[in-house]
Amino acid sequence: MEKFLLRNIENPNSADISEYMKAGGYKNISKALALSPQDIMDEIKKSGLRGRGGAGFPTGMKWSFAKADPKFPKYLLCNADEGEPGTFKDRPILEKNPHLLIEGMVISGYVLGSEYGYIYLRGEYPAAADILNAAIKQAYEANYLGDNIGGKGVKFHLAVHQGAGAYICGEETALIESIEGKKGQPRNKPPFPVNVGAWSMPTIVNNVETLSNLPLIIEIGGEAYSNIGSKDCPGPKLYSISGHVKRPGVYELPMGTNLKDIIFTHAGGMRDGSKLKAVIPGGISTPVLPADAIDCAMDFVAMPRAGSMLGSGAIIVMDESVCMVKVAYRALKFFEHESCGKCVPCREGTDWLRKVLERIENGSGKEGDVELLSDIAGIMLGKTFCPLGDGAAGVVMGMIKHFRNEFEEHIKNGKCQ
Amino acid sequence: MITLTINEKEVTLDKPVSVLDAARQAGIKIPTLCWHEALKPYGGCRLCVVEVERMPRLQTACTLMAADGMVVKTESETISKVRRGILEFLLINHPLDCPYCDKAGECELQDLVNKYGPTVGRYKEEKRKVPESHKDQIFARNMERCVVCTRCVRMCNDQQGASAISIMGRGNHSRMEPFSSASFNCEYCGNCLTVCPVGAILSRLYIHSFRPWQVDKEVETICSYCGVGCSVVVQVRDESIKRVIPKIGLGLNKGLLCSRGRFGYEYINSQDRLTTPLVRKNGNLEQSTWSEALSIVADRLSDIKKSEGGKAIAGIASPRCSNEDNYVFQKFMRMTCGSNNIDSISRTGYAAAQKYFEQLLGQGITTNTIEGLKNSELILVVGGDPTAVNPVLGLSIREASRQGAEVVVLGNAKGLDRFMTQQVVPQVFGEAEVLEELLVAVSGAKGLRGEKMDVDSGIRMLSDKYSGKMDLDGFEKLKQSLLESSSTSIVFGTDLVQRSNGHRAIFAVAGLTYLLEARLYMLSDRPNEQGLIDVGCVPDMLPGGRPINIIDFKRKFETEWGGPIPDEAGKTLFEIIEGAKNKDIKALYVMGDNPVFNLPNGPHVIEALQSLEFLVVQDLFLSETARLADVVLPALGWTEKTGTYTNLERRIQLQKKAVNTSSGMEDWKIISEVSGKMGYKMSYSDSEDVMEEIARVSPLYRDLTYREISKGNSLWPYHGEPLRGEIHKLPVMVDSKGEYRADLYISLEKPLFHSGTLSRRSPALIKICPQPTLKINGTAAAKLGLNEGDMVRISTAAGSSEMPVSIDDTIKDNKVLMGNNFEGKGVFNLITYKLDPVTMAPGIEGCEVTIVKL
Amino acid sequence: MFNETVLKEIEEIKARYPDRKSALLPSLYVAQREFGWLSQEAMECVSKALNVPEAMVRGTASFYSMYRHRPAGRHVIQLCTNVSCMILGAEKLVDFLETRYGVQPGGTSQDSRFSLVIMECIGACGTAPAMLVNTDFYDNLSEKRIEEILEKYK
């Protein structure tokens, strides 16, 4: 497939506006401004674009809610808080192709009637901050940002807001709290951000990858876009693959590419002749799949059927050397560290799960600990304020479901086989 | 109309509410922990989960809005399992120290675990350890018991607006900090105590002194501190006050309190209370008996009345005493002593302004409720910091600000620093001029209303002098805001009354109120400033606001009271002081006040009182004034007696007796005893009996009974009719811009934590604010080379004092501020005054000060 | 106190947002840069500059893991140990840093040269293990490579 999101990134100067424009960049803004916002909205709906952040919500629908709200100003927030462990798909866009994102955001702002955009960039990407700020400066100079974009009287201002190390800020309402200068703790919904979001105004929060798809939709039209990849959730998709494969990295492939193909064809299969043991298919919050369960399409529809989720499309490949108890323990250490503390089941549950996993991993597990883990995860699942706690519970449940014997051996023998 | 089914019971709602509220309306209790009725729903504890048909997962009832046709189940095996699980989670790090914890018995977690919790816990690892903190003098903080419900944080941010508490850390390392220390803006309202469901925040005033179930009496009454009159509940054990708490939903404060109201009650049990009457013998005050003391008072007053006439006797009533006390006092002065020389400390501010407002507008008090303040579109605050003078009223202004109202402060108001949308800082003491220019500007844009001829003509007079323009930052913006707002409130503090031409500011505010059809609120530092005026403790009015010079009114009272009332209006407060000094006044009766300390130029007041032939003081303490008296009579105080108080919004409320005490007598009773001995019999059986008479003679309190008052909705009627007739000749308004060229001027600070005589005998308030400080802004401090805490000598023409400085950058002009709260360290000792010819209030502006670092 | 230049920078940050509170996170970064860490004084400065209550400043600062609440060494190493890095040996690198440079997770070496912060995912899973030294990014780490890299940070 021809690359779009990662077009030109081998060029060492790809982040520069002139290189971007040489490769055809920013022409979709002029094309978009010639259309009415409603026409573009129709194209987006036709394209079938779904949010790339993990939830897969239809973008056109989300936008129409915000558009229908009569309050102004409206805010467009780009979620660049790519924090899901295993995920590094947005990073090449942010660092190598920032103008694509800016172009996507300008078009989005025009469609939504939003004049102010912010890129909520995770604090762990300091280099990306510099690159984005430089790109924004260039875009202002080239009049792709400002009060009169393309001489058409369209106004859009954009700034980078750096996070400071909190995974939860990837949740859209937590992100909004954080941009307002508060702790990143999720808000009650309803009201939804499309009605009462940042600074109490209608707010659209979209992932970097989602917004970067906008120029493509303008370029080829919604119809053609909808023919790329899976029928139910079309378009190009960035998969990040890491772990024990020969060629880890970010791959732009049609949505719904088979997981097995991604691992064995695109990423070159297992490294050093090792044997595949398990795959976490969509970032650490998605349930693990054993080696024999990976023949499935990587999209929002097929993955739940296979017993996991597409998540951010972050594939972590593990070979036989990996101890699943240790992975579970490390994952829960992460969730415990990142739990915002707002709701009881997540705050206390992640702590307790981590402690039980820690003692099993240390060789002092007790009989009944597997049941205890299941119980704790069971109390959490579906009862936490936001999906973070669900993720933590789901990871433990998935691990126990597929690798129960490893846990039991650990408890019995005090260590791995 | 929304109809839903909860536990097979049909519930109909008139307005959309949460499922939790809908269930409560239907009498179905859903367990909660992070939810609190005074706070917005949070959704953190997850205990209120319910099953809703056609919804895939359990829903939290506190955050889910009830919808038509919804079918809800609040109890089921699944739900119980979740609740049990959540409570197990909550206990894993909980110390389970109920036997030692003061909260046991009223702990929400304890109750929930008892009902829904597991019987054994499966958690085997070590519990989180956080040492209990006793660093603060008022709060004990135990973060092991904390359940991170954030109720305290939400209370502090969203209701109180102090924002002194925050969650530190995240996840299971979350803990609440810091609750205290002035640097974190803690206002010591203690409202966090009200909402903490567990023993994480406790008051050190009563820690380990009783168990909740040992309270043997709970009395709903009102606070004794300021003119708001918040409702409180006094909890008593063995005739001693254990705790003062608010009750959610009760009273106009709706469960909120300030530091004085919550922690300032201990003065009543002070060791310094007077226990027996004192009589001056051979120059010294000596213990005496009631019968001896009362006879001396009656005899001396009778002698003076006989030899010098009633005019030689004067009385100072008290805005801290009840309507009944004050009513009996003025009746005694008029009927028994034959004098209209009755006034009070309130003349220094509230009463002075009230009278002039009434002359101008026909009423001298707000026509609205405090609660209504928060519905304003624009609130203009002048002449004081409402959050310090009347803290709970101040909260309404903060709430309005949160709801998007414009809050404009003219001058300084520290407590509104983060809530004001605009601040206009006039030249020092130049507020009146700004208000006059604003008035001229507004009348220029809106025209005159033609309803009040005198006010109109006054505005016309001003329009000849002023242009309605001003070279002052923010003036134009403020003018525009005032013109655009369709619902304006003006909050008027008495700082502007205490000017030698204070009537100018009052006129300008009255004019603005009139032209903008604004709502006027007058701040009031003491609990019964309005009531004492209502019952006639002013030299020119009989109870019910009836002018003494209208013969029909006077006759009516003479018939009622059975005797003649002197014809002429009596002397105002400062005329009484001058009269004492000139020996026109021979005897002074002071009920429940301390003029030596509470009036400017203390040395002058002492001199005047020492010139008297006879001074009688009745009070709780041997105050600076009582020390000069010939007879001192011990009175009863708050919680020791029953009586009514009228707050600054005209609400008449009942202050109730809660404890029995052996010494002291009600003020009205002491006076009626003296009166009887002087030959005018007053035979009231109790304070209710006095109220019956007030309700009979006063048109404002007509037909009021204690029973009616107890309902809490007795606001005296407002008819808008002028009571004293409008003024017909406007006093010449002084057209001086004022020459204030000195580097620094000293002004009165009204602090949040103190009110003077009572607060300085309350150990808790002393702990919060142990000593007086001189407030100075950073720029002025830097010029003088002063750092926070440096000791300085403060000198004025009137005297000098020494104290540490405290740097306060919310002071935006060249004033330094000092309170009048600590014995021997009051600012009034350093300030002389000049009376405003119209209001007869003391002008204390323009007092130059020199500050030297020691 | 912040100097004039910093106050100006904060004013510029404030101008980016509809309200002053939103400038808190970026202003905390500025304070951290100026003071090296978020000392009491640093947070008071932020509180004053934004007129945001100090408790809120402190609470917010404490929520985010990239603000430092202790003085740090001259160079801050932020090493990821999350699953993708872990399965490729990140934990051994933590041990290496401790034995070779005397710096423990969450601590600072005796010579104040390095502070070590264990990070959750820094988005370099494809080239794991990875770390940031101050704001410089390094990946495909091994003990040898770390030694080479850290040579530059004295």
Could you read off the pLDDT of C60-90 as tens digits, one per residue?
999 999 999 999 999 999 999 999 999 999 9
Residue C54 contacts B where some CB pair is shorter than 8 Å:
yes
Mean pLDDT score across all residues of chain A? 96
Distance from CA of C70 to the nearest CA of A (A): 16
With a cut of 70, say whether residue B712 has pLDDT above it: yes
Of A91-100, A277-286, B663-672, B694-703, the range with the lowest mean pLDDT is: B694-703
Residue B140 contacts A where some CB pair is shorter than 8 Å:
no
The Cα–Cα gap between B528 and C65 comes to 54
Confidence of residue B108 (pLDDT cuts 50, 70, 90): very high
Residue C106 contacts B where some CB pair is shorter than 8 Å:
no
Distance from CA of C60 to the nearest CA of A (A): 5
**CA B739 remoteness from chain centre:** 34
Contact C25 A337 (CB under 8 A): no
With a cut of 50, say whether residue B744 has pLDDT above it: yes
Nearest to C60 among A183, A244, A314 (CB): A183
Contact C55 B184 (CB under 8 A): yes
Of B99-103, B129-133, C52-56, the range with the lowest mean pLDDT is: B129-133
CB contacts under 8 A, A 98-157 vs C, are 122-127
With a cut of 70, say whether residue B639 has pLDDT above it: yes
Task: For A141-192, give the DSSP string.
Answer: HTTSSEEEETTTTEEEEEEEEE--S-GGGGSHHHHHHHHTTS---PPPSSSP
Instruction: Name the neighbours of C, counting chains with at least 3 Cβ pairs within 8 A.
Output: A, B
pLDDT attached to residue A170: 95
Those residues with Cβ within 8 angstroms of residue B423's Cβ, 6 or more apart along the chain or in another chain? B408, B409, B474, B812
Of B174-188, B279-293, B537-551, the range with the lowest mean pLDDT is: B174-188
Neighbours of C105 (CB within 10 A): 13
| Contact assessment for residue A308 and residue A398, using Cβ atoms and an 8 Å cutoff | yes
Distance from CA of B163 to the nearest CA of C (A): 6
With a cut of 90, say whether residue B662 has pLDDT above it: no
The Cα–Cα gap between B385 and B598 comes to 19
| Contact assessment for residue B72 and residue B5, using Cβ atoms and an 8 Å cutoff | yes
Nearest to B163 among C55, C62, C63 (CB): C55
The Cα–Cα gap between B418 and B398 comes to 9
Residue C55 contacts B where some CB pair is shorter than 8 Å:
yes
Nearest to C55 among B166, B169, B418 (CB): B166
Nearest to A180 among C22, C29, C119 (CB): C22
Pick the closest to residue A61 from A82, A87, A42, A80 (CA basis). Answer: A42
Confidence of residue B721 (pLDDT cuts 50, 70, 90): low
- Number of helices (H), then strands (E), belonging to chain C: the values are 7, 4
Nearest to B172 among A190, A347, A385 (CB): A347
The Cα–Cα gap between A357 and A410 comes to 10
**CA A126 remoteness from chain centre:** 19
Confidence of residue B733 (pLDDT cuts 50, 70, 90): low
Interface test with B, best of A192, A336, A379 (most B CBs within 10 A): A379
Residues of C in contact with A127 (CB under 8 A): 135, 137
Residue C41 contacts B where some CB pair is shorter than 8 Å:
no
Residue range B576-580: mean pLDDT, rounded: 97
Confidence of residue B777 (pLDDT cuts 50, 70, 90): very high
Residue A187 contacts C where some CB pair is shorter than 8 Å:
no
Neighbours of B657 (CB within 10 A): 18
**CA B380 remoteness from chain centre:** 19
The Cα–Cα gap between A82 and A77 comes to 14
The Cα–Cα gap between B87 and B840 comes to 65
Residue A402 contacts B where some CB pair is shorter than 8 Å:
no
Residues of C in contact with B185 (CB under 8 A): 53-55
Those residues with Cβ within 8 angstroms of residue C115's Cβ, 6 or more apart along the chain or in another chain? C68, C72, C73, C75, C76, C77, C103, C107, C108, C109
Q: In chain A, which stretches have pLDDT less than 70?
A: 1
With a cut of 60, say whether residue B87 has pLDDT above it: yes
Contact C58 B164 (CB under 8 A): no
pLDDT attached to residue B468: 93
Confidence of residue B717 (pLDDT cuts 50, 70, 90): confident
Residue range B31-46: mean pLDDT, rounded: 96
Cβ-Cβ pairs closer than 8 A, A with C, add up to 139
The Cα–Cα gap between A310 and B165 comes to 40
| Contact assessment for residue A120 and residue A168, using Cβ atoms and an 8 Å cutoff | no
| Cα atoms in the Cβ-side hemisphere of radius 13 Å centred on B517 | 9
Nearest to C22 among A125, A127, A181 (CB): A181
Residues of C in contact with B158 (CB under 8 A): none
Confidence of residue B745 (pLDDT cuts 50, 70, 90): very high
pLDDT attached to residue B497: 95
Interface test with B, best of C47, C56, C57, C65 (most B CBs within 10 A): C56
| Contact assessment for residue A312 and residue A282, using Cβ atoms and an 8 Å cutoff | yes
A365 to chain B: nearest residue by CA?
B124
Interface test with A, best of B89, B93, B94, B402 (most A CBs within 10 A): B89
With a cut of 90, say whether residue B135 has pLDDT above it: no
Task: Pull the structure tokens for residue B191.
Answer: 């409202």
Residues of C in contact with B170 (CB under 8 A): 62-63
**Strand (E) positions, A255-401?**
276-280, 289-290, 314-319
Residue range B230-251: mean pLDDT, rounded: 94
The Cα–Cα gap between A14 and A5 comes to 12
With a cut of 50, say whether residue B312 has pLDDT above it: yes
Task: From residue B813, give the alpha-carbon distance in Å to each of A299, B491, B573, B783.
Answer: 66, 21, 31, 14
Residue range C3-10: mean pLDDT, rounded: 96
Task: From residue A100, give the alpha-carbon distance in Å to each of A10, A79, A234, B317, B388.
Answer: 15, 15, 19, 79, 55
Residue A355 contacts B where some CB pair is shorter than 8 Å:
yes
Task: For B247-261, give the DSSP string.
Answer: -TT-TTTTT---HHH
Pick the closest to residue B625 from B363, B143, B274 (CA basis). Answer: B274
The Cα–Cα gap between B581 and C48 comes to 51
Confidence of residue C29 (pLDDT cuts 50, 70, 90): very high
Residue range B326-347: mean pLDDT, rounded: 98
At B691, the amino acid letter reads M
pLDDT attached to residue B182: 47
Distance from CA of A177 to the nearest CA of C (A): 9
Neighbours of A152 (CB within 10 A): 13
pLDDT digits (tens, 9 = 90+) for B167-192: 999 999 998 887 545 456 899 999 99
3-state secondary structure of B807: strand
pLDDT digits (tens, 9 = 90+) for B778-811: 999 999 999 999 999 999 999 999 999 999 999 9
The sign of the CA dihedral B51, B55, B61, B67 is: negative
Residue range B579-587: mean pLDDT, rounded: 97
C-alpha distance across the termini of chain A, in Å:
43
